[in-house]
Amino acid sequence: MPRQSASRVRTGACGGSPSGAAVGAVTRGTTGPDRLRRVERWLAQTQAARLRRAADPLVVDLGYGASPVTVTDLQRWLRRVCADVRVVGLEISPERVEVARAALAGTEGAPQFAVGGFEIPTAGDPVLVRAFNVLRQYETDQVERTWELMRSRLAPGGLVVDGTCDELGRRSTWVALERDAGPVSLTISVRLAGLPAPSAVAERLPKVLIHRNVPGEGVHDLLRAADEAWARAAPAGTFGVRQRWIATCRDLARDWPVLDTAARWRLGELTVDWSCVAPRAAAA
């Protein structure tokens, strides 16, 4: 399916929809089974407490695409840690919503599907919102106001995850945003087998950072430091690529605000505080 323009975001004066219309534009909709497994695993393993303490553990998969498979994948992962989680797939395309409903008609416990965009028109405020491979198809100057709109719909203690990944889900990155604090972290998650260097993930950075991978920006410095640490960790590769990645992350943690530990590193993950990668220079 050819790429469609996502350059128009319909918003009112306060960032919401001026007429009740869905906020956003139809994107390519490319998807596939297990494509988002890396962020699903992260959500299930690190964000379970948010779901368990919520009176209504509502989760939104925003812009799930042409197939409902990522919505059902997400629900399967989250039900392992919160049996009563309620997952809703939102798409701005009514046709995609009808396809999803038809595909899962009669399936017991299936997720719900509704037409909607960044305004998140759900019954109840979500604890988690995942928007993956959505904002990468928008203009950079639309990101922050879209973040604000999604955050405004969160339940207290809620989290938005804005990220992107390659077609097979082997290289992925995402920004975590809290309702009141805004962006709090950047996570890199990669398949370690065949990884030439950490900076190979650069082309899959979130929209807000992908054009910031230039000298003078934090994300550029982080990837350069990670490549240098990866080179220094080459001897650890004798014991396998996982040990080399763990050694790389441990090296980085000496000088960078790394937020996770070896339990996450061994999965090919690295999470850092947003402050070290937040855009510095004024956009051109």
**Which CATH number does the domain housing residue 168 bear?**
3.40.50.150
* Predicted TM-score of the model (pTM): 0.91
SS3 110: coil
Tell whether 75 and 136 lie within a shared domain.
yes
Tell whether 226 and 256 lie within a shared domain.
yes
**Would you say residue 186 lies in a domain?**
no
**Would you say residue 284 lies in a domain?**
no
**Would you say residue 269 lies in a domain?**
yes
C-alpha closest to that of 94 among 102, 105, 104, 82: 102
| Number of domains composing the chain | 2
Encode pLDDT of 7-49 as tens digits. Answer: 333 433 223 343 468 888 787 767 888 999 999 999 999 999 9
Residue-range definition of the domain harbouring residue 47: 8-180
**Would you say residue 187 lies in a domain?**
no
Of the residues 149, 180, 211, which one is the last residue of a structural domain? 180
End-to-end CA separation in angstroms for the chain: 31
Give Cα 82 to chain centroid, integer Å: 20
- Residue 178 near residue 185 (C-beta atoms within 8 A): no
- Mean pLDDT taken over the chain: 91
Tell whether 135 and 35 lie within a shared domain.
yes
**Would you say residue 3 lies in a domain?**
no
Encode pLDDT of 227-276 as tens digits. Answer: 999 999 999 999 999 999 999 999 999 999 999 999 999 999 999 999 99
Tell whether 51 and 16 lie within a shared domain.
yes
**Would you say residue 192 lies in a domain?**
no
CA atoms within 13 A on the CB side of 235: 1
How far apart are alpha carbons 145 and 109 in whole angstroms? 34
**Would you say residue 255 lies in a domain?**
yes
